[in-house]
Structure 1
Amino acid sequence: MSSAHDEVKLDLRVTARRDGAEGVIVLELADPSGVDLPEWAPGAHVDVELADGMTRQYSLCGAPSDRSSWRIAVLREPTGRGGSRHVHEALTEGVEVRLRGPRNHFPLVSSPRYVFIAGGIGITPIVPMLRAADAADAGWELHYGGRSRRSMAFLQALEDTSGHRVTPYPQDEVGLIDLHRILGTPQPDTLVYSCGPEPLLRAVEQHCADWPEGTLHLERFNPRDVSEPVLTETFEVELATTGVTLTVPPEKSILEVVEEAGIPVLASCREGICGTCETRVLAGEVDHRDSLMNPSEQATNDAMFICVSRAACPRLLLDL
């Protein structure tokens, strides 16, 4: 996983804007002076800083080899909190906007074969993965669901270039993705990558329960459901760099307590889905409550996302 410490802040200009599907716009963003943008790999996303302090995360869906611009696709969410509406209404050609990143908590791991499963706008991080799989001569298949063909961004281009390897599931025509057929039998030397709405991801998790550990890779747009905290009482966090020890009460996050102490920390979503506040753990046991790490990553106990994760012991030592 990439670290927030490796990120940059960039003021980029919208150089092109087009309709990507029903309710989806595709934006090309470039440096106004024409310099190359930072490198990135499939699965990366960026923070887009919007009006009134809003920050939203969007996957990069262009070609990593093209350093001249970054591409994002944004679905307008009528019932959302206003971020996508602002993008649709305000980010027209010529407008400048600040981005932070790139950050990658959904990297494409090398494999002889892949099964990609996308739902709706969850296709965005998958698109560059398909190109990377082709470049590596890996086998792959894509199963792509959406409300209708009109709402499925990049579908026509994917069908035109990849033919039989792309299976669309417009819900108004064929119903939901047939996960039992796709995932019912574990396949050797195959990784499963999925991004989309939470009901799809939960179903993919259930169907991959019998696949080998480490097979499934997910990216969530919303926090996963978690159980009650391991500790329901206060705990302490010692900040190794600053030499401060803070007490975290049950009703506050580590991030909130650290910020209240006047210690600057990069943070964005505050829901455990963007990865901005990733912090190195030097000692102690973590109650991982994020939606980013898989079980094996959590078991290493060397990092945590302090906006949601807590202590599973009386005291944590953090690299802050």
Structure 2
Amino acid sequence: MRVVVVGATGHIGSYLVPRLVRCGHEVVALSRGTREPYHATPEWSRVERVVVDRDAEDAAGTFGTTVAAMEPDVVVDLVCFTPESAGLLVEALRPVRPLLLHCGTIWVHGPVHRVPVTEDEPRTPVGDYGTGKAAIERLLHRETRSGGVPSVVLHPGHISGPGWPVITPAGNLDPGVWRALAQGTPLPLPDLGLGVLHHVHADDVAQAFERALARPAAIGSSFHVVAEQAMTSLGLAHEVAGWFGRDPVLDLVDWPEFESRVAGEYARQTREHVSRSISASIERARAVLGYTPRYTAQEALREALDWLVANGQVDLG
């Protein structure tokens, strides 16, 4: 098939594009700039690379027609964040009706009542990101049910892997968390360290997208794409400290103290993650897509941290 991947050199696309090439698909890789993928492989030499500024073309009303003119059998949209943008793309694709695979997020769920949360739970998103993704999901399912563009929505967790900062055991992007766990210095955690994080390796997300191309039964549905098990901040802290042969030194504190000890942006990130504490079921993805994650949450974090240290982005002291 001819597959157009939008956001091809990002976290997911860096792994997905080579997978598609190995499957024999003709791949057109759209990206905003000329940056190389996070994970370079020989397969990229067999890919058509196209630079497209989606924001500018959306503003001009031309992005959808640009994609449609490429005559795709499948469009993989990894970087759509508003229902307005999704609507413009769908409208342009409707005459030719390629399969549309959209990247959502488990943050379409807010704080949940049942765990692990399934895809059938009512959507209760909190914040612009999750709210926008939930609106896109509704739009795409409505489009599919009405006989328009067929779509599949995949909801990843906290995407991890080598090449970019990832969510730490404290539920934020503070590099000092890694250093504290490596050195055995005190690490503050709120809510008794019981906030839940559900990571996933970028290659496992790519695996799910690859499988969705060949599963007609997936059309019209949403799927969680996460590691086999979620973990608490407490559990991840013990895991990471163990890599350095020590137990973590944890200060289990209330929110006011946590926020007094952690820089404002990092404290906000932690609160966003802990307030949701999403543990997502992958039973539907397993049954319909044949999705089988290769990486545990711990393995995804370990690979990410090794890269951050090797590339001077984290100083473990």
When the two structures are superposed, what TM-score results if normalisation uses the length of structure 2?
Answer: 0.30
Structure with greater helix share of residues: 2
Q: Greater relative contact order (Cα 8 A, min sep 6): structure 1 or 2?
A: 2
The structure whose residues are more often strand, as a share, is 1
TM-score, length basis structure 1: 0.30
